[in-house]
Amino acid sequence: MTPRHPLTPGRAGAASAALALVLASAATGSPVSAAGGEGADVPRGTVAYRPVAQFGTAGRPRDLLLHPDSKKLYVGSDDLPETADVNESGLHVLDPADGKVRSTVGQAPGPTGSLGRRAVRQLLAPLPGDGAVFFYPLRGIGTAKDGDAAAAGAWVPGAAVTHAAAGLTPSTVLVAQGSVLSEVEIATAAVKRSVTLEGGDGFAVDAARGAVWFTDVGNRRMHRIDAATFTVTATVELPAGDGFAGFTEVDPGTGAVWVGLDTSVVVHDATGKRLGIIKGGADMPRAASFDATTHETFVVWQDAGDTSQPGSDNNGALTVHRTRDLQEAVKPVVLPGMHTQSGSAAVAVEPGGAVVLVSDPVAGKITRLERATSPRVTGNPSDQAVTAGTRVSLTAEAEGTPRPTVAWQVSTDAGRTWRAVEGATSPVHTFTAALSDNGRRYRAEFVNDAGTVHSTAATLTVTITDTTTGGTGGPGDTGGAGSTGSTGPTGSTGSTTGGADGGPDGGPDGGSAGTGGAAGTPGTVGGGSAGATVGATVGGGTNATATGGALASTGVAVASLAGSAVVLTAAGWVLMRRARQRTDS
């Protein structure tokens, strides 16, 4: 049972309410986004973590280890009291993707060497290729790998082991028995050397720099032990407080020492100089892990589990911090029901930070969280100018993890407000442009668990279709009546040719046929003149063939026909004059 202490509300508690919305969004598949305006985009490269699965297949998990070679998830567990028919204590090997149990190693040697069901409290180091070195109560140091029927193990002499960690060499581990720190052989648990301190709780090993950092929370101190001489070479004062220890971990990359203390994390560099303090509000830091690729530290915070205390909401959180400046790299993620009443949580991080696994000893669950990166627009829609009735296609593209969803939006007020286009949820939005769409702006909204971004807006210009094809032809000239032929001795019948009809678009019908001259006496030539046949066309209208007449012209003045008629008439008058002269003579 964790001791009670006064709690004060702080950042972690305040973050819970905001993050509850994010988690609810992830659960329902309906990401939250701001409405209206051109803004509301998250900064480029925003990262978030989202819970994607929970595994309840490994009893009450106490520690986690992602094997660097086999990629298997090793889980050290106690038995769950509510499953009285099954003892789930032991070393479980899971598939980290879906939590499927590959095997369970439940048997390990006791102090006399006899096998028995053993709980596994700490996972100390991976074995080459596969398997793990672990600590099991009260003084056992064991080794096992996937598929083993039982673990190998030996018992450390002396008092009960209170904390253990990887050793300074592959064949050793370090164990704390209260304030005594010892280096022991893995295979035999034989003690190689020891150092006794004033007091102590937990420690961490900086193998790269040959140091061990041992915390003594009761005296608010941290001691640096030289790995070569196994002596204390420095002592660092810790901030005053209530005296509750969470964890001591060393960042392998920088050598910085992270100490979970009360409701804060105190960070010192490799020399012991204090770098800063991360405040956790009402929650208490209980586990930390480092990722060398992203240079980030992952911290699990647990609630005290007493909702009668101010600031206690029964929920914990996962925070992620940049190792260079301790600032948050990711918004905190709420871990519902995560409290300390049944033990401390554990955390394991896949290299690169794509996957984080957090154990919850209260619920007997392991939560898998995956890294999400905000969408980045890689293609924007372009402005378009079309005529009404034309099909329009707008295209926008974005990338992100997980793959972002897309929804098109339209603005009718130059981008001041936006509304969703019903059913437009693919990268290509196609529709038929109407005149009412003129001036509208369209953009794509991309959403995933890390945030929302928008494409640039494209403006649509819509005009009326031009349906004109030409003007109407002018009226045709009416043909004149034919002249009556004069009488002659041998005159022929006068011409009776009327004007040709104009086409439908060239104007009204041509003039009526001329009246032919009467039959003359022999020797008289008829003098009837042909009616005019010219129908003028104006504006390019197409004339059809007139009934009973000649083809009307198409867009061209038929002056040549009129000229021919004049020539024929003149020739007729010349013949008539010659005939009269012969008669008179």
| pLDDT one-digit tens code per residue, 514-553 | 333 333 334 333 333 333 333 333 233 333 333 333 333 3
Q: Greatest CA span in the chain, whole angstroms?
A: 170
Find tokens 């929804």 and name the residue.
407
Contact of 288 with 347, CB cutoff 8 Å: yes
Q: Got the DSSP string for 509-550? A: --PPBPPPPPP-SBTPPP-PPPPP--B---TTPPPPBPTTSP
Length reported for the chain:
585
Residues 229-243, mean pLDDT to the nearest whole number = 92
Is the pLDDT reported for residue 385 higher than 70?
Answer: yes
Residues 113-124, mean pLDDT to the nearest whole number = 97
How far apart are the C-alpha atoms of 77 and 9, rounded to whole Å? Answer: 32
Q: What is the mean pLDDT of the chain?
A: 80
Please report the pLDDT score of residue 33 as a whole number.
Answer: 37
**One-letter amino acid of 341:** Q
Please report the pLDDT score of residue 468 as a whole number.
Answer: 61
pLDDT in tens, 246-262: 999 999 999 999 999 99
Residues 23-51, mean pLDDT to the nearest whole number = 60
More confident: 358 or 512:
358
Residues 116-121, mean pLDDT to the nearest whole number = 97
Encode 294-313: b = buried (16+ Cβ within 10 Å), e = exposed: bbbbbbbbbbbbeeeeebbb
141-144 — which CB contacts under 8 Å span 24+ positions? Answer: 141/173, 141/175, 141/184, 141/186, 141/189, 142/91, 142/108, 142/109, 142/118, 143/186, 144/91, 144/105, 144/108
Contact of 306 with 314, CB cutoff 8 Å: no
**Where does residue 150 rank: exposed (0-12), middle (13-18), buried (19+ CB within 10 A)?**
middle
φ, ψ for residue 187 (rounded to 5)? -70, -35
How far apart are the C-alpha atoms of 34 and 420, rounded to whole Å? Answer: 12
- Name beta bridge partners: 104: 92
**Where does residue 556 rank: exposed (0-12), middle (13-18), buried (19+ CB within 10 A)?**
exposed
Is the pLDDT reported for residue 306 higher than 50?
Answer: yes
Q: Roughly how many angstroms between the first and final C-alpha of the chain, as a whole number? A: 157
Least confident of 156-160, 182-186, 486-490: 486-490
